[in-house]
Amino acid sequence: MSDSFELLVLGVGDAFSETYNHTSFVVMSGGFRLLIDAPEPLPKILREAGDSCGVRVTLDEIDDVVITHLHADHVSGFETYCYHKKYHQGRLGTAHTSPEVAEVLWDQRLRGAMGVTTDVATGKVSHNRPEDYYRLRVLDYGHENAIGPFQVSTRRAIHPIPTIGLVIRLGDVSLGYSCDTAYDPEHIAWLSGCDMILHETGEGLHASITRLAELPGEIRRKLWLVHYRDDHDTGRSPIQCLRQGCLYTVAKRPNGVAKVQCA
Ligand SMILES: [Zn+2]
């Protein structure tokens, strides 16, 4: 049984942040690197995280991507990921997402940018298909889905468009991610078995920090805030804040973290 894996934090901000990158991560074990959401500017935020924690991960080294939903702060860099894999590395990337997002990813998000290629010398127009750029794997609900060494489960979050929370398990260690969601006790109950839980916060459609702070101590101590506002006081937060540019070792510990490495 594996007793730990790595979590590299690329961003912790919300969609409107002037301070942080948009919330996204890389989970890593045994040389496999799984990107959780792909905001722009993807190569730059990877570089920044590597410079901060001393462990560089380039786009070359990213294997697969999980796309939680189609809001720009989560998926805007997927196009860059696909182009990089195809044109810099000569292979196709692999995206894992919900059945709902899989249904519309190409037609409603990517086709406008990737659907047609015009040869600038000859003017010849080629019509592209999704399989020209990426392999798509649907994450089914209700059971674990294998991605590299990880087992990934999903659950629908409460958000204006189809969005999934994640449980990422390696052996007997697991990381939960609420993704964008309203405060939802059932979603939190689903995540509560994880060793480390990343939970979003925000105003309006998002989960209020006041409600999260009222959770029982055994859940709160392993809860780490992400998607927080620029004016959130991380030093006085009632819930510990995940830090951008840090490398966490997820393990069976009271707060889910065995080690943190950052500048
Ligand atoms: Zn969203």
- Digit-coded pLDDT (tens) for 142-194: 999 999 999 999 999 999 999 999 999 999 999 999 999 999 999 999 999 99
Query: What's the pLDDT at 203?
Result: 87
DSSP H or E stretch at residue 117: strand 116-118
By CB neighbour count within 10 A (0-12 exposed, 13-18 middle, 19+ buried), where does 69 fall? buried
Q: Could you report the per-residue pLDDT of 187-232, keeping only the tens digit for each?
A: 999 999 999 999 999 988 999 999 999 999 999 999 999 999 999 9
Distance 162 CA to ligand 1 centre (A): 9
By CB neighbour count within 10 A (0-12 exposed, 13-18 middle, 19+ buried), where does 95 fall? buried
Q: Could you report the per-residue pLDDT of 27-83, keeping only the tens digit for each?
A: 999 999 999 999 999 999 999 999 999 999 999 999 999 999 999 999 999 999 999
Distance 14 CA to ligand 1 centre (A): 9
Query: What's the pLDDT at 263?
Result: 76
How far, in Å, CA of 222 to CA of 191, rounded? 11
Distance 180 CA to ligand 1 centre (A): 5
pLDDT at 91 over 70: yes
Distance 243 CA to ligand 1 centre (A): 20
Average pLDDT, the chain: 97
pLDDT at 94 over 90: yes
Distance 71 CA to ligand 1 centre (A): 5
How far, in Å, CA of 158 to CA of 205, rounded? 9
Q: Where are the domains of the chain?
A: 4-261
Q: What number of other Cβ atoms are within 10 A of residue 144's Cβ?
A: 15
pLDDT at 255 over 70: yes
Distance 39 CA to ligand 1 centre (A): 12
Read off the amino acid at residue 42.
Answer: L
Distance 89 CA to ligand 1 centre (A): 30
CATH of domain 4-261: 3.60.15.10
Distance 181 CA to ligand 1 centre (A): 8
Query: What's the pLDDT at 1?
Result: 58
